Amino acid sequence: MLSAIGVGKRFLAPQGMVHALADVSLRVGEGEFVCVVGPSGCGKTTLLRILGALEQPSSGHVERVGEPGIRSAAFVFQDFGMLPWLTVRANAAFGLRMTGVRRHAAEGASYRWLKRMGLADFADSYPDQLSGGMRQRLALARAFATGSPVLLMDEPLGSLDPQTRRLMQELLLELWQEERKTVVLVTHSIDEAILLGDRVLVMSARPRRVTDEFEVPFARPRDPEILDSAEFGWLRARVWSQLRAQLTGPRTEDCTPPRGRTDVQTDHRHGGAQ
């Protein structure tokens, strides 16, 4: 459905050439949910942008089977990507409008998603009148409303408080089980990656590529209670051990500091990365 083959990306920045991605190959099957974890600045956002054709790779290529349109993927961005001058209703319809759907039809189709996300009463509000959790649900409504079979999500729950985040994880689990989209989700939370994903990919910063891959063995539909199971704890420890090696290894000039991002969040409950 979606493949990256030997994808590399270089940026010319004021400090010189930045190798944002070295050589990334991955394959995401139709209806598969793949999560990507990795140190800050290892190229996760760059990879998503290349998968979604927002950015061209410097080497290698991306294949999207059965998807002739270039912008056939819907994004949920790290910062939500809301347009503050548009109402909630218009923001929800924005993704669909960008595919050429007329305003009336786009707002009609996306209203269903506003209702599904519990935002129908706020349709005429503006994004800055919403809480963080509501803005996040709006971002999801906009992405789902496009009807795109591919969803690319960049730390979609990263800015939420732990309780809201947990509820949103459950909502995402539910939505994916209903809609069966092909999803690539970047997260700093190992728990989130295992709870939601069919596979978890670990990226390294030296060089910036995928180094490890874990199959998630839990059956669907998934009950969030699996978070407390021994098997979950075992997989969490294995992923964390690989990610930890990426976080604590020596840095090279190829791994420039991230732009205003913090590192993996630590979940003290489990003594590892969340």
Phi, psi of 38 (to 5 degrees): 170, 165
Binding string, 28-57, against Mg ion, x = CB under 5 A?
A: -----------------x------------
List of residues 6+ apart from 6 with CB closer than 8 A: 23, 24, 25, 59, 60, 61
Phi, psi of 67 (to 5 degrees): -125, 85
Question: Min. distance of Cβ 266 from ligand ATP in angstroms?
Answer: 15
Q: Which does 43 bind (CB under 5 to 8 A by kind): Mg ion, ligand ATP, none?
A: ligand ATP
Using CB under 6 A as the binding rule, whether residue 17 contacts ligand ATP is answered as: no
For ligand ATP, the closer of residues 40 and 125 by Cβ is 40
Q: What is the 3-state secondary structure (H, E, C) of 26-59?
A: EEECCCCEEEEECCCCCCHHHHHHHHCCCCCCCE
| Strands 182-186 and 266-267, bridge-based pairing | unpaired
Question: Min. distance of Cβ 131 from Mg ion in angstroms?
Answer: 23
For ligand ATP, the closer of residues 81 and 233 by Cβ is 81
Using CB under 5 A as the binding rule, whether residue 189 contacts Mg ion is answered as: no
Question: Min. distance of Cβ 171 from Mg ion in angstroms?
Answer: 22
Using CB under 6 A as the binding rule, whether residue 159 contacts ligand ATP is answered as: no
For Mg ion, the closer of residues 119 and 203 by Cβ is 203
For ligand ATP, the closer of residues 142 and 188 by Cβ is 188
Using CB under 5 A as the binding rule, whether residue 187 contacts Mg ion is answered as: no
Using CB under 5 A as the binding rule, whether residue 242 contacts Mg ion is answered as: no
Using CB under 5 A as the binding rule, whether residue 246 contacts Mg ion is answered as: no
Report the distance separating Cα 274 and Cα 208, nearest Å: 22
Report the distance separating Cα 172 and Cα 31, nearest Å: 14
Choice from 44, 64, 89, 222 touching ligand ATP (CB under 6 A): 44
Burial class (CB in 10 A: 0-12, 13-18, 19+), 54: middle
Token pair in block for residue 84: 């503050």
Using CB under 6 A as the binding rule, whether residue 37 contacts ligand ATP is answered as: no
**Cα 144 versus chain centre, distance:** 13
Binding site for Mg ion (CB under 5 A): 45
